[in-house]
Amino acid sequence: MTSILKINPFRFQTKILFGCCLLLFFYGCDEELQNEQVNEITVYYTFSVTQAQAQQLGAYLSLGKNAEPCVLYLDKNEHGFIIKRVVKTEKDTSNYSSYPRKLSRDLFKNQPVIFHLVDEQHNSIKKFTSH
């Protein structure tokens, strides 16, 4: 009768390990980034935004007179659209203060835009907001 009540520890550990792997897999899927290339602008975006929004952002920024190759990250949360642009030095941060207002008005139907300038390790250098 005692043999019926015994639990095989190997099977139990295997089930826990399998469950942990599934959790890590699904957690990792949330953060997976898609990307769109528009001219020389690469826009990485999350599943919180559409492919069309990423394409529109790249197209909008590639039309400006100061258009240059760059890498952008686009996301959306309860606070609005979040855009991160990678810059090489802190000197490159001077011309971006009006970007959030223009992007909010022209692209994102007056929804809030938070625009971060980040270094190559994604550390925020400056932050601008539309509202």
d(CA 40, CA 37): 7
pTM of the model: 0.72
The chain-wide mean pLDDT, for the chain, equals 80
> Other CB atoms closer than 10 Å to residue 87's CB: what's the count?
18
pLDDT in tens, 36-59: 888 889 999 999 999 999 999 999
pLDDT single digits (tens) 19-34: 544 444 444 444 578 8
pLDDT for 128: 92
Contact criterion met (CB below 8 Å) for 82 and 75: yes
Q: Is residue 7 part of a domain?
A: no
Instruction: Determine contact, residues 85/116, Cβ cutoff 8 Å.
Output: yes
Is the residue at 17 inside a domain?
no
Range of the domain at 51: 34-129
DSSP 12: H
Q: Please check whether residue 21 lies inside any domain of the structure.
A: no
